[in-house]
Each structure stands twice: as structure tokens, then as C-alpha cells.
Copies of this chain bind each other. A is one copy, B any other.
């Protein structure tokens, strides 16, 4: 992972204006339009989603037909609390994706100051800005001086990890000023030692978790907020009854409880990432950071490489403000990895 930046610079990314549309990974439609001659099927490495999904358990017909019952929603929150090390399901709220929570959270505080430790997932700054807050993207933890501080941990895309003890100290400081520390742990399943979810009962500390990334089921749409009781109650009221679909409840309750699968896939992803790193290095590409769900390349020729990969039917994630960066998800199999590497090696020659 990348070392935390020591630069103290502070950049206002947006203030009081609606953000432009944010580019996300996973948009194969746009990729096909940009590279009409690329071979099919495309290899999509543009997201940080586990390419080996949790095997779907049988989904009872009732989960589709009926309104999701309270007991099913409670069972999900119990499973999530156990999986994330949270003492009680009362500290857990479920919603239709962590994105939904990223959009909701800024509306639950009156407009104030927000510091987002960047560069990171752009929806955080956009959400707070849209709700009328004054948002600064800052590049060091020391510059995180605002009523609300947002840290993605491990960070997307560079994998930067802020140690839990520093987060907890910051949360305490935030609480003492009536503020929040929001920690987005969307990728923390592959770095469980960095999670502070078990501490999120503290006022001031709010943790977000994503179901779809580690379990490879992003289409299910499920995310969690973990926090103090008043905030969790407020979030549950705001998302309303039946915010999570019946199939999502059935699949995720099984997945979050499957500690054997979780351990095995943590291992599998770490091994796959290490193997992929070695091949990237062999092609002269420097891995600057990431998690075992995605790898970040830092290369002055990144833009050209991105196009070469596009012509080869490989979609990776580029970053407008960091032209030297490319983020790669993990190829699913050897054939896909070979196609990626051929494109990289041919470009680099």
C-alpha cells in the first residue's frame, strides 16, 4: 500500500455547487462505444469487485414475492454485526448499497465543514457538497480539521491505510466537537486488521461497509452503516421499511455468516493479487498501491496504456486528476490475465 502522504496541502474541490457527473468503473457500454473494434467478450478490470462471487444459496420464492419481513431484516443485521465484530445489531443499519448511505448521510447534518482525505472515491465529496456542506479534499490526516472528516480505509484507489489507533483518536476528537469521523470500509474485508467497525458505538465514529465488493455480488445492492444508537435509528427511519430486497436479505445473511468462505477468499484474493503484481512487474509496470481487490499502477504512460488495453478489449479504471494512475481489478483466469499482459507488454515495447 502507498504510505500516507505527508504533504499538508489542502485543496478545495467543490464549494456549494452541484458536482459534474462522476465517472465510475464498470461501464462496459461506454467502453464498447469508445473501442468498437475491440475483441469480445470484454475483460472488465475497472472495478474493485471480487471476480469470484459468493455462490448463490437457494432463494425461497417468498423472498421475491412478499414484502421483506422484520425477522429477515433483523437476521441480516445480526449476521452483519457478527461478521464485522460489532457488539450488537442495534448499531447496524442496512440500506440498498453503501452508495445509498453515502448519499443519505450528508442530509442528516445541518450544513457545515467537511474534510475528505483524498484522493479517494469521488461520491463522498459530491454527496456532502450536494447537501450544502463546505467540502475540502485534503491530502494528509493532520489537515483533517472539519466538523465531519471522511476517510476511506483502506483507501480507493491507492490502498493507503490509516491505522485504527489514529482513527480512534481522531473519532474522539471529532466527538468532542460534536462532529463525525466517517470511515468508509468498503474494502476492509481484505484488510480486517484495519477495521474500526467494532468501535462504532462511540458517538463520533460512523463506519460504512459494502456487501457487494468482497462477496463479488455488487448487483445485489446492499450496504451497512455502523454507528451510535441515535444515528442508526435515524438512518433506519430515513431509508424506511423494506429498504433491502428479499433476495438480498437471503443471499447476504448466508454470505456474511460463512466464515469459511470469507477466510478462504481473503487468502485467494491475496494470492491472486501477489501473482498479478509479479506479472505486472515483469511488464515493467510499477504497482504503487491497492488492496487485494484492485491494484494501482503509477506510470507516466498510463493514458496510452489505457487506450492500448481498450483496443484489446480490456477495461481498466483511469483517473482524470491523476493521469499517471490506472487501477486494475483482478483477472478471473489465466486466459484473461494473458490477454491483459500481452496488451501491456506490447505497449511497453
Chain B residues within 8 Å of A201, by CB: none
Interface string of A41-80 (1 = CB under 8 A from B): 0001001010001001000011111111111000000000
Interface string of A4-31 (1 = CB under 8 A from B): 0000000000000010000011111110
Chain B residues within 8 Å of A65, by CB: 49, 53, 216-219
Q: Contacts A29-B69, A71-B29, A247-B219 known; A103 to B240 CB distance under 8 Å?
A: yes
Whether A307 sits at the interface, judged by CB under 8 Å, is no
How far is the CB of A275 from the nearest CB of chain B, in Å?
22
- Could you tell me if A219 and B28 are in contact, using CB atoms closer than 8 angstroms? no
Q: Contacts A96-B96, A99-B240, A243-B96 known; A220 to B67 CB distance under 8 Å?
A: no
Chain B residues within 8 Å of A63, by CB: 219
Chain B residues within 8 Å of A115, by CB: none
Whether A266 sits at the interface, judged by CB under 8 Å, is no
Interface size class of chain A, counting residues whose CB lies under 8 Å from the partner chain: 35 or more
How far is the CB of A128 from the nearest CB of chain B, in Å?
13
Chain B residues within 8 Å of A64, by CB: 53, 56, 217, 219-220, 251
- New contact pairs (5) apart from A100-B243, A103-B240, CB-CB < 8 Å: A26-B69, A29-B70, A63-B219, A97-B242, A99-B240
3 tightest A-B CB contacts, nearest first: A219-B246, A221-B245, A26-B67
